[in-house]
């Protein structure tokens, strides 16, 4: 147990260091953007005195190291600054948008994870058959296509031709749960097509790898049905790689939905990030980028921890 706790704290420390490095990269990246922020916000008609006063208000007259330290300190305390576009606290803008992104990601995960695992088990059960080849070809096609292409195909079929779902996933707080689910079905199906392919193929590969083990051959000799072998013996022992790929795709559902949110005009954090970049609303860009990074890192950390807990070999190899 002590070894497991040591490994968990070790991974947690590495994650915190990674977040710190990413925060530096985000800050430097924003600093290197061309043009002057004050002049971009105030416009070309602003006087020199107004620009200087605004720069002082934004603390742009201070050295970058001092501004980075102040920004990181405020971020840790939950103060993300004030939006340059509308003067509202960044935390207010991000809270609702982040909740919408999590809602879309959760809905997709509820559909995609069971579907991917089920298809992966079926593909392993019917290995090298027509069904297996059909599933593999279909999933490879979804992996090859970019998200926006799949999104436009679904819009054309279900919104334009069949007129079943709306082409724009616009939601607000006045809508009930059912209405929100109906509104986000197309972006959710788009993301499901992408992440299901990765998880299904990893599940299939992990189960097939376990099926080559000696204890599986013994179970077959004893006359246990192949379906029971896969469900009760192979799949539980292949959880480690499956957990990893599920966690990675959950991270993608949160931080990789920018394109899908833009295509469907979904009011999520990704859409807010794109709008803020176009408006040069730097406090929102910095906060959104770091929140995305933290979510991705800690979901991968969770995958590592769950993999170690589900596979004793990983715990021994890390000591």
Asked if residue 85 is part of any domain, the answer here is: no
| Same domain, residue pair 112 and 250 | yes
pLDDT score at 187: 92
| Same domain, residue pair 146 and 203 | yes
**Residues in the chain with pLDDT values less than 50:** 317, 319
Asked if residue 318 is part of any domain, the answer here is: no
HEC per residue, the chain? CHHHHHHHHHHHHHHHHHHHHHHHHHHHHHHCCCCCHHHHHHCCCCCHHHHHHHHHHCCCCCCHHHHHHHHHHHHHCCCCCECCCCCCEHHHHHHHHHHHHHHHHHHHHHHHHHHHHHHHHHHHHCCCCHHHHHHHHHHHHHHHCCHHHHHHHHHHHHHHHCCCCCCCCCCCCCCCHHHHHHHCHHHHHHHHHHHHHHHHHHHHHHHHHHHCCHHHHHHHHCCCCHHHHHHHHHCHHHHHHHHHHHHHHHHHHHHCCHHHHHHCCCCCHHHHHHHHHHHCCHHHHHHHHHHHHHHHHHHHHHHHHHHHHHCHHHHHHHC
Q: Where are the beta strands (DSSP E) in 2-42?
A: none
Query: Closest by alpha carbon to 258, among 272, 239, 248, 241?
Result: 272
pLDDT score at 37: 66
Q: What pTM, to 2 d.p., does this model score?
A: 0.81
| Same domain, residue pair 168 and 263 | yes
| Same domain, residue pair 121 and 197 | yes
pLDDT score at 280: 78
| Same domain, residue pair 64 and 106 | no
| Same domain, residue pair 56 and 135 | no
pLDDT score at 147: 84
Asked if residue 173 is part of any domain, the answer here is: yes
Asked if residue 319 is part of any domain, the answer here is: no
Asked if residue 96 is part of any domain, the answer here is: yes
Asked if residue 43 is part of any domain, the answer here is: yes
pLDDT score at 17: 92
pLDDT score at 36: 64
Instruction: Quote the tokens at residue 254.
Output: 């949160």
| Same domain, residue pair 29 and 99 | no
CATH of residue 266: 1.10.3720.10
Asked if residue 315 is part of any domain, the answer here is: no
Taking 3-state DSSP, the helix, strand and coil percentages for the chain, each rounded to the nearest 5, stand at: 80, 0, 20
**Each residue's pLDDT tens digit, 281-312:** 888 888 888 988 888 888 888 877 777 776 66
pLDDT score at 92: 86
| Same domain, residue pair 119 and 146 | yes
pLDDT score at 271: 87
pLDDT score at 91: 87
For residue 41, the enclosing domain spans 2-76
| Same domain, residue pair 71 and 111 | no
Number of domains making up the chain:
2
């Amino acid at each position: 147990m002590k070894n497991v706790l040591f490994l968990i704290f070790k991974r947690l420390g590495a994650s915190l260091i990674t977040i710190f490095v990413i925060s530096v990269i985000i800050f430097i990246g924003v600093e290197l953007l061309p043009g002057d922020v004050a002049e971009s916000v105030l416009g070309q008609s602003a006087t020199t005195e107004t620009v200087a006063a605004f720069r002082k208000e934004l603390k742009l007259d201070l050295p970058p190291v001092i501004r980075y330290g102040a920004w990181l300190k405020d971020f840790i305390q939950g103060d993300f600054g004030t939006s340059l576009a509308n003067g509202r606290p960044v935390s207010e803008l991000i809270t609702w948008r982040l909740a919408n992104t999590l809602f879309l990601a959760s809905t997709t995960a509820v559909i995609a994870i069971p579907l991917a695992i089920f298809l992966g088990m079926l593909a392993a059960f019917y290995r090298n058959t027509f069904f297996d080849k059909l599933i593999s070809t279909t999933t490879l096609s979804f992996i090859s296509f970019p998200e926006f292409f799949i999104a436009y195909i679904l819009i054309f079929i279900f919104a334009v031709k069949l007129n079943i779902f709306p082409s724009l996933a616009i939601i607000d707080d006045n809508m009930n749960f059912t209405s929100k689910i109906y509104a986000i079905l197309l972006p959710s199906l788009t993301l499901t097509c992408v992440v299901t392919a990765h998880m299904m193929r990893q599940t299939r590969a992990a189960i097939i790898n376990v099926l080559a083990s000696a204890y599986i051959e013994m179970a077959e000799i004893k006359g246990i049905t192949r379906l029971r072998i896969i469900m009760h013996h192979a799949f539980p022992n292949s959880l480690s790689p499956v957990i990893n790929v599920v966690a990675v795709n959950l991270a993608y559902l949160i931080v990789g939905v920018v394109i899908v949110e833009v295509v469907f005009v979904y009011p999520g954090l990704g859409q807010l990030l794109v709008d803020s970049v176009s408006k040069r609303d730097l406090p929102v860009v910095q906060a959104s980028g770091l929140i995305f990074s933290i979510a991705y890192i800690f979901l991968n950390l969770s995958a590592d921890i769950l993999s170690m807990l589900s596979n004793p070999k990983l715990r021994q190899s890390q000591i």
